[in-house]
Amino acid sequence: MFPTSLVLLALASSAFATVFTTSPVASSVFSGGKQATISWQDDGKAPTLKDFGPAKVSIYVGNAQQQTLLQTIVPSVDVSTTQSIQFTPDATIGPNSAEYFIRFESISLKDANAPQFPALAFSAKFTMDSMTGTFSPAVLAQISGQSTAPLAGATAPPPPSTGSTPATTTKSSTSATTTAKSSGSPSASSSAGTIKAGWFGVFIGAAVGVTMF
């Protein structure tokens, strides 16, 4: 389905939070081929969004031990100066499903407990419709494995903002046009081309209305 390569990952030993995703949440529905918005705020815990800094933002599926990259939304956006991203989901990355989630991967900040890996943050799982693709057998196996390796989540939102075991991740090549909107600054656009897998850690952060997976 997608050109793939496997990258062995390590899971941070404790939850690592900073980016609290306010869209999408568990009740959100994104449609393939139609503009969607990802937004976030600081969760009020260390590290701060300024510490997290520039991050790659992507759509993934999978579980706490294995995750598959489906679409890179933007290769780098500073989460401390930008509050949202507008992009168009690629309808070919998978079928209609409620198994998608957003993953933020810091480009500069490392995980406090496993400094060889970057800091990560995740949205709740959400639904995508008007999709035309399929999940490979490997992806379906990852999704079915979540009953024994659930992705973590929390139900309570953070206060208002003022300003890992081994895992396997699959990369894919895709493209997406995104618009990052910064508070008090002009919009900036960028395109994601061929995806190169780097070092990752794996965990799921809090999201509004998310239940345990």
pLDDT of residue 146: 62
In a domain, 32, yes or no: yes
pLDDT for residue 90 is more than 80 = yes
Do the Cβ atoms of 109 and 53 come closer than 8 Å? Answer: yes
pLDDT for residue 117 is more than 80 = yes
- Record the pTM: 0.68
Residue 149 DSSP code: S
In a domain, 1, yes or no: no
CA-based nearest residue to 86, from 35, 121, 26:
35
In a domain, 197, yes or no: no
pLDDT of residue 46: 87
Give the three-state DSSP class for 161. Answer: coil
In a domain, 176, yes or no: yes
In a domain, 31, yes or no: yes
Q: Specify the number of domains making up the chain.
A: 1
pLDDT for residue 212 is more than 80 = no
What are the backbone angles phi and psi of residue 55, rounded to the nearest 5°? -145, 150
In a domain, 80, yes or no: yes
- How do residues 46-56 score in pLDDT, each as one tens digit? 899 999 999 99
pLDDT of residue 17: 53
**Residue 65 confidence class, pLDDT cut points 50, 70, 90:** confident
Q: Which domain holds residue 121?
A: 6-192
Q: Which two tokens stand for residue 72?
A: 């890179």
Say if residue 131 is exposed, middle or buried (CB neighbours under 10 Å; 0-12, 13-18, 19+).
Answer: buried
Q: Which two tokens stand for residue 97?
A: 């499903």
What are the backbone angles phi and psi of residue 170, rounded to the nearest 5°? -105, 135
In a domain, 213, yes or no: no
